[in-house]
């Protein structure tokens, strides 16, 4: 996966069925790598999907909530990551032991140099055509039905979340506003609101259900071109009447635009999102 940072002085572009072929990587939970779930509309090659199931999944009959995440290469393994992994499996294994919190995570690999198109839902005069609607259609119409059909999930809106960082934060914003009947929670980390007015207009034109939970995160060291637009977005959402107890916004003074920062904030965010 390639990354290119261009906003002012910098920004992030390319970061940051039962017969399915699969391999497994063991941890306390289990990571299963699926290669043949399906193809994003308009593309030719199947997209790799990485599924984390929590400790005890194989031995129990329980069903679990599901978190869909972008940039799957960066979530679980250093060997496939661009600049270090999020450590999702290690974090969730620890939370399972400490607090009994268990979750299925579905990571969708990005398209490498096509990432900038897949993770944006609004065309850009410099960076070109957005393919985010096709990407989200892939998640909702192909990936989610596969996951719900092959894993013990809680498939309803109240138990389904989406999360990502950078352009992944931007597409997570689009997803929660475009598909609030599918997702009830969004982790919007270091969102690329510098992209344009599209997400702000989407907020102006959309009323969210009352149970939607929004978790915003930014690092102060990511720069004003990142911090200020997120602050504007949070203010706009609250002014539109979103309940303040269902929105949290954090600016970490030491946070930088990288997986190390997002890894350190993941546990707090996911526990807040799935708080009952």
Q: What is the pLDDT of residues 185-240, one digit of tens each?
A: 999 999 999 999 999 999 999 999 999 999 999 999 999 999 999 999 999 999 99
Is 21's pLDDT higher than 70? Answer: no
Is 25's pLDDT higher than 60? Answer: no
- The structural architecture, per CATH, of the domain 22-273 is 3-Layer(aba) Sandwich (3.40)
pLDDT on residue 78:
81
The whole-number average pLDDT for the span 153-170 is 99
Lowest mean pLDDT among 3-17, 95-109, 225-239: 3-17
Is 241's pLDDT higher than 90? Answer: yes
Is 175's pLDDT higher than 70? Answer: yes
Is 275's pLDDT higher than 50? Answer: yes
pLDDT level of residue 157 (50, 70, 90 thresholds):
very high
Q: Over the chain, what is the mean pLDDT?
A: 91
pLDDT level of residue 84 (50, 70, 90 thresholds):
confident
pLDDT on residue 26:
42
Is 1's pLDDT higher than 60? Answer: no
The whole-number average pLDDT for the span 98-111 is 97
The residue behind tokens 């919007």 is 188
| pLDDT: which is higher, 102 or 22 | 102
Is 17's pLDDT higher than 90? Answer: no
Lowest mean pLDDT among 18-32, 66-80, 166-180: 18-32
**pLDDT, tens digit, for every residue of 50-79?**
999 999 999 999 999 999 999 999 999 887
pLDDT on residue 20:
52
Lowest mean pLDDT among 23-27, 85-89, 152-156: 23-27
pLDDT on residue 267:
98
The whole-number average pLDDT for the span 32-45 is 96
């Amino acid at each position: 996966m390639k990354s290119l940072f261009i906003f002012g002085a910098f920004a992030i572009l390319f970061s940051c069925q039962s017969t399915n072929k699969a391999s497994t990587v063991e941890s306390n939970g289990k990571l299963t790598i699926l290669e043949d779930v399906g193809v994003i509309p308009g593309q030719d090659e199947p997209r790799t999907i990485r599924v984390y199931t929590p400790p005890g999944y194989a031995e129990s009959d329980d069903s679990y909530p599901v978190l869909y995440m972008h940039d799957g290469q960066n979530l679980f393994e250093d060997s496939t990551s661009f600049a270090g992994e999020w450590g999702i499996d290690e974090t969730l294994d620890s939370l399972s032991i400490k607090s009994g919190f268990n979750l299925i995570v579905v990571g969708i690999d990005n398209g490498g140099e096509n990432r900038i198109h897949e993770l944006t839902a609004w065309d850009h005069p410099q960076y070109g055509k957005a393919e985010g609607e096709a990407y989200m259609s892939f998640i909702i119409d192909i990936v989610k039905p596969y996951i719900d059909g092959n894993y013990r999930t809680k498939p309803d809106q109240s138990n389904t979340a989406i999360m990502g960082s950078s352009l992944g934060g931007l597409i997570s914003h689009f997803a929660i506003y475009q598909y609030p009947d599918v997702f009830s929670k969004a982790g919007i980390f270091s969102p690329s609101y510098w992209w344009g007015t599209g997400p702000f207009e989407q907020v102006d034109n959309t009323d969210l259900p009352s149970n939607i939970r929004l978790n915003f995160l930014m690092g102060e060291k990511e720069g004003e071109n990142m911090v200020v637009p997120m602050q504007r977005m949070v203010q706009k959402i609250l002014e539109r009447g979103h309940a303040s107890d269902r929105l949290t916004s954090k600016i970490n003074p030491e946070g930088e635009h990288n997986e190390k920062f997002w890894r350190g904030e993941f546990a707090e965010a996911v526990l807040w999102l799935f708080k009952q």
